[in-house]
Structures are given as C-alpha cells and as structure tokens.
Amino acid sequence: MIMACIEKIYSVSALVGKGKCNAKCSFCAGEYLRPEAKEDELYHKNLEAAIKLSARYGGWSLSLTSSGEATCDPDALTRALKTYDKCAKEGAYFPNVNLFTNGILLGNEDYCNTYLDKWRSLGLNNVAISIHDVDEDKQAEVYGVKSYPPLEKIVENVESHGLGVRATLLLRRGGVDDYKKYKEAVETLIEKGIKNITSWPIGNPDNTRNKFTPSRRGLVGIRAWLKLNAKICHGHVWGGGVYDYKGSIVRYTNYVTKHNPRKDFVRQLVVFQDGTVAYSWIRDGALCMR
C-alpha cells in the first residue's frame, strides 16, 4: 500500500464531559460513545497536543461537542477551553472555535449570563445550534422535550455576549429531506437572524446510511438547488462546499469522513473523552495518539 504524507490537518473536534444530555433523540449519534465518557488523565494533555499538531499543519477550526449535550457539563467545557486558551497563547490559535449544542439551555438567560462571557474570554467565538426543524414545536418533538426555546431568543442571548450564532441544519428523512423543505428551512433561519448555516444528512457514525437518512434523490435535489441558486465560494476536498446565498453562508457537507491513509490531508483530529486521538470519528485504522 502506498501511504501519503500528511500535508494538512484542517481541524480538531473534541468531545467534552460525561455524556449527560437533556434530550431524548431516537437517533443519537453519540450514544455509542457514552460508556467511555469520562475524563482520562491523558485527555487534556492529548487535547493540547492535537490542537498544536493541527495548528502546525494549517488547521483553522476547533469544535467542542459531546457524546451527549456539551452544555449539560459546563465545567468540562470550561476546562477544555482553558486548554485551548493555553495553546492559543503559545501560538496555536484557531480563527474558529465552535460549540456544537442542541441549544436548549441557551434559551435561558441566567445560564448564558453565567457561562458565555467566560467561554468567550477563553477563545470561544461561535455557537452552532443543531436544527432538525425550524418550527420549534417540531424541534421539541424530535428532541423529545416538552418545549424548545424560540430560535430568536437563543440568537439574542448568544449574540448579547459577543458570540456568533451558526446553525447546523440536520437533513433527516421526514424532516428537511428535499430541496423545497431545504429552501424553506434556510430562508426561515436567515429570517430568524442565523446567516451562517451548515447542513449534512443524518447517518451512521461510519458514514453509512440508516433509516433516518434522506433519500438519495432528495439529497441530489438539495445539492442541485444550491448549485442553481447560490454562488460557490469554495469546495471541500472531502466533498461538498461553501456557498453564498443572498449574502448568507450556506455550507453542504457530509457528516463524517473516514480516514484514508492514501490522502495527504486529514479533515479533523478527534479527541475522545478517554484521551484517544484519531484521524477520524472511526478509530479503526485511524489512531493518532493515546
């Protein structure tokens, strides 16, 4: 087998906390990781190493997520950001530091007042809200909760603390699964004040399809709609790209990218709670450090 030398490591994704969650999704992508959701003594050492390695190879983004809901363990999130802040002060700075969240707790002003300024001071600059449906009642139904905060309130709370708001528009069979629903969802999010939108289809952790993945025809229609109605800004080497839609950023990509040792790039280093660092969400054949 011919191996390639790594030329670029685009980003780092770090799981934080113990996998606690305030939602009950029927298709949780992180559930399989929860048995190992504990902070190993190697975690922060390896998180620091991953950040510095990615920065050395041209990385531009750190994403903080969880096998549950990251905001349910704010202390763990703070510790991870302190590790990043240390790295940034030593030169390993990323222009994009993103918190991926279901957004439920961010509808609470007291919660936001308690944590968001602290997290911003440690380098957080964007909050990415996972959107299954732009209708809050349907959003609550998908998350298995009684109610979901108005998106406008979440935007107001987050932006009042000097942070940007992004949407992660999750493409799901029965939800946003064709170009008409996609167009409606994108335009509604823009109306609600979210003008940076990333979208990808729900699937299995190994990037295979499951019963929640939209039909291939539906996904082709979404990509065709973007091509016809938005201006491409740049493509991703792993697939998809970033578009300008009426002055808003709309990104289409795939959920995960399996590591390919023949390629000269790594989409992301993933830091798991047990301290393992892998070249992708699929560890098998992709281990980086332990």
pLDDT tens track for 239-269: 889 999 999 999 999 877 888 888 999 999 9
- Look up the domain containing 213 and give its range: 8-289
Asked which of 47-56, 255-264, 266-275 is least confident by mean pLDDT, the reply is 255-264
The total number of structural domains in the chain stands at 1
**Whole-prediction pTM:** 0.94
Q: What is the pLDDT of residue 129?
A: 98
**CB 74, CB 115: distance < 8 Å:** yes
Q: What is the pLDDT of residue 27?
A: 79
Question: In this structure, is residue 1 part of a structural domain?
Answer: no
Distances (CA, A) of 112 to 127, 240, 288: 12, 33, 35
Question: In this structure, is residue 2 part of a structural domain?
Answer: no
Question: In this structure, is residue 191 part of a structural domain?
Answer: yes
Question: In this structure, is residue 282 part of a structural domain?
Answer: yes
Tell me, what CATH number does 42's domain have?
A: 3.20.20.70
